[in-house]
């Protein structure tokens, strides 16, 4: 049933068979999955999709697996929420939140990519899955991997806060705490991936893993009633998600599920780590690496692997980029929570605050339809809000103490 | 004296297994051309149409040439040029490992932890 033709180097175009590899041997470019869209077009129709279960595998023909889905059968198909209260606040007409804060099972969009990666890992015959991560990815590999019955190795910097480790440890993977920073952990994992026959989801399984991000984009189009939005705002760390969302829109057009595609893609970053938005604003292709300094830790990649492709996608679509300060990020988180009842992680604060700026500058027009991609749950990064919240009212257990508060807040 | 060029593992097949070779001074792209004369085939692995390939990083005396004068960065006698594919650690299909001495700011395919 598979529609995958093989792997292809994004740079020099050399083709490779479907194997757990990720780098072109000739020019060192990244490998990407290629599909036979003509055969997909024949079998994947709106009606077929609509009849399927509400999970990310309803688009399985456009995902890089050969057999049936095996992992994450309840992942994906998160709500697309019409955010009227937020729209009013920002002065626009049609605003939507694509809400991956409620992704199953670990409350971030990583549940999508890991579902695809682990299904592929099983097809390749791996019994052990692994990743280097400080957060969402580790949680998802630990949880999905537990249910799928894989042996799991999660590599983290030893200095990571205990609170962040708990959300992985509870699934009882082997957590390897490395005496080094995240870059060093990552590099060690590349060496380990070379020596052990393990599926490192973000290393040797990466071309397949990254394809899972497309489902976020497929769902946006389906949930808008088979229409692409005028604008989509995407948070960027490596730039992979933005690149894949744009790919997902183009694929739906390619196979005829939508007729028109005139979406502008916008990149959102934190000012403390904004190599992609800087390149876009300066009109250059060269990504200048930075040392990250931001509370949005899940976006803190100073030298983004897919930065070049993200810049191309933004430029190709006539989009733009914005970046925001830590204070604006906090305000973004609070604004989304206060208006729409959604508690996003810091990356969500970035995306929201950038959208606000893009609207204010006129880059996003007020009469257009805009989708904001919210990718992770705020319960995971609560410490970012310490000291930045409204306070409880402390009272004695009697009615007069309560009524003093009522008087103070004028809420009679 | 000449320019010292450090060759990454996957390209050492083209340099008879040598990790470090010599080339004549000039601009970076001229050094690559000279390398290709000495070790035919190595040029197209590193550059295309006079430009360094996007996923190959070149360092002159440990400075990334993208932040110097790119392909036109001058290289003098005694300078050290490093060619480093932009992959962390370097898990290749043939099992070769790429030494990655400049760790901090490498573009890493592996560095896909987030978004």
ipTM of this complex prediction, to 2 decimal places = 0.77
Whether the CB of B49 is below 8 Å from some CB of chain A: the reply is no
Q: Which residues of B touch A135 (CB under 8 A)?
A: 113-114
- Cα(A241)–Cα(A232) distance, rounded to whole angstroms? 12
- Segment A305-339, tens digit of pLDDT: 899 999 999 999 999 999 999 999 999 999 999 99
| Region B76-94 average pLDDT | 70
- Segment A86-132, tens digit of pLDDT: 999 999 999 999 999 999 999 999 999 999 999 999 999 999 999 98
CB A202 within 8 A of CB B112: yes
Task: Check CB contact under 8 Å for B103 and A184.
Answer: yes
Q: What is the mean pLDDT of chain A?
A: 95
Structural domain for B75, as ranges: 3-85
**Beta carbons within 8 Å of A341's beta carbon, 6+ residues apart:** none
Whether the CB of B115 is below 8 Å from some CB of chain A: the reply is yes
Instruction: Measure in Å the smallest separation between the Cα of A27 and chain B Cα atoms.
Output: 5
Residues of chain A with CATH 3.40.50.1100: 4-69+110-209, 80-105+213-385
Helix then strand count (H, E) for chain B reads 2, 9
CB A369 within 8 A of CB A230: yes
Task: Check CB contact under 8 Å for A303 and B106.
Answer: yes
Residue A300 has a pLDDT of 86
| Region A212-233 average pLDDT | 98
Q: Is the pLDDT of residue A348 over 80?
A: yes
The answer to which of A85-89, A140-144, A389-393, B100-104 has the lowest mean pLDDT is: B100-104
**What is the dotted CATH code of the domain comprising A4-69+110-209?**
3.40.50.1100
Residue A161 has a pLDDT of 75
Q: What is the CA radius of gyration of chain A?
A: 22
CB A279 within 8 A of CB A311: yes
| Region B54-71 average pLDDT | 89
Work out how many domains chain B is built from and give that number.
1
Kindly list the strands in the beta sheet with B63-64, ordered across the sheet, starting from the edge strand earlier in the chain: B20-23, B3-6, B80-85, B56-60, B63-64
**What is the dotted CATH code of the domain comprising A80-105+213-385?**
3.40.50.1100
Determine, yes or no, domain membership for B101.
no
Distances (CA, A) of A275 to A35, A302, A312, A372: 31, 7, 14, 21
* Banded pLDDT at A216 (limits 50, 70, 90): very high
Residue B87 has a pLDDT of 67
| Region B35-59 average pLDDT | 94
Q: Is the pLDDT of residue A204 over 70?
A: yes
pTM, entire model: 0.91
Task: Check CB contact under 8 Å for A206 and B109.
Answer: yes
% residues pLDDT > 90 (chain A): 83
Residue B91 has a pLDDT of 33
- What are the residue ranges of helices labelled H in A196-300? 206-211, 214-223, 240-254, 275-282
Q: What is the DSSP letter of A377?
A: B
* Banded pLDDT at B114 (limits 50, 70, 90): very low
Q: Which residue has the higher pLDDT, A303 or B16?
A: B16
CATH of residue B34: 3.10.20.30
Residue A60 has a pLDDT of 97
Residue A311 has a pLDDT of 98
Cis link prior to A105 (omega < 30° from 0)? yes
* Banded pLDDT at A175 (limits 50, 70, 90): very high
Residue B115 has a pLDDT of 52
Q: Which residue has the higher pLDDT, A79 or A386?
A: A79
């Amino acid at each position: 049933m598979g529609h995958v033709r093989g792997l292809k180097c994004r740079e020099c175009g050399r083709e490779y068979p479907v194997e757990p590899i990720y780098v072109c041997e000739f020019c060192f470019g990244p490998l990407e999955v290629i599909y036979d869209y003509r055969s997909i077009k024949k079998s994947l129709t709106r009606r077929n999709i609509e009849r399927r279960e509400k999970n990310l595998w309803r688009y399985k023909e456009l995902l890089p697996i050969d057999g049936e889905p095996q992992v994450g059968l309840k992942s994906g198909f998160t709500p697309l929420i019409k955010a009227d209260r937020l729209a009013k606040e920002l002065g626009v007409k049609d605003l939507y939140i694509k809400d991956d804060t409620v992704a199953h099972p670990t409350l971030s969009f990583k549940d999508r990519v890991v579902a695809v990666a682990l299904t592929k890992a099983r097809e390749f015959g791996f019994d052990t899955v692994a990743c280097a991560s400080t957060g969402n990815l580790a949680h998802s590999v630990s949880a999905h991997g537990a249910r799928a019955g894989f042996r799991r190795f999660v590599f983290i910097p030893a200095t990571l806060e205990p609170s962040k480790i708990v959300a992985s440890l509870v699934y009882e993977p082997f957590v390897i705490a490395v005496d080094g920073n995240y870059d060093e952990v990552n590099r060690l994992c590349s060496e380990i991936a070379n020596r052990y026959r393990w599926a490192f989801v973000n290393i040797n399984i990466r071309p397949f893993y990254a394809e899972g991000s497309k489902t976020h984009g497929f769902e946006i189009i389906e949930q808008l009633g088979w229409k692409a939005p005028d604008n989509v705002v995407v948070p960027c760390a490596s730039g992979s998600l933005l690149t894949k969302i744009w790919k997902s829109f183009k694929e739906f057009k390619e196979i005829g599920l939508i007729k028109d595609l005139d979406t502008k893609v916008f990149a959102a970053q934190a000012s403390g780590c904004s190599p992609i938005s800087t390149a876009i604003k300066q009109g250059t292709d060269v990504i200048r690496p930075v040392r990250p300094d931001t509370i949005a830790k899940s976006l803190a990649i100073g030298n983004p692997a897919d930065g070049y492709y993200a810049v191309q996608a933004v430029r190709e679509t006539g989009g733009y980029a914005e970046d925001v300060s830590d204070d604006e990020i906090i305000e973004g988180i609070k604004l989304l929570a206060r208006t729409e009842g959604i508690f996003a992680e810091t990356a969500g604060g970035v995306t929201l605050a950038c959208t606000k700026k893009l609207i204010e500058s006129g880059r996003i027009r007020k009469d257009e339809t805009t989708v904001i991609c919210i990718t992770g749950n705020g319960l995971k990064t609560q410490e970012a809000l310490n000291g930045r919240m409204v306070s409880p009212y402390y009272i004695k257990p009697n009615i007069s103490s309560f009524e003093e508060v009522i008087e103070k807040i004028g809420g009679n | 004296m000449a320019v010292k060029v450090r060759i990454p593992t996957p390209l050492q097949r083209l340099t008879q297994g040598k990790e470090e070779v010599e080339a004549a001074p000039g601009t970076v792209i001229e050094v690559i051309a000279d390398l290709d004369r000495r070790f035919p085939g190595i040029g197209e692995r590193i550059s295309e149409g006079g430009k360094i390939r996007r996923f190959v990083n070149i360092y002159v005396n440990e400075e990334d040439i993208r932040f110097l004068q790119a392909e036109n960065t001058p290289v003098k006698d005694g300078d050290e040029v490093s060619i480093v594919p932009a992959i962390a650690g370097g898990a290749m299909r043939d099992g070769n490992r790429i030494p990655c001495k400049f760790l901090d700011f490498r573009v890493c395919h592996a560095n896909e932890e987030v978004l």
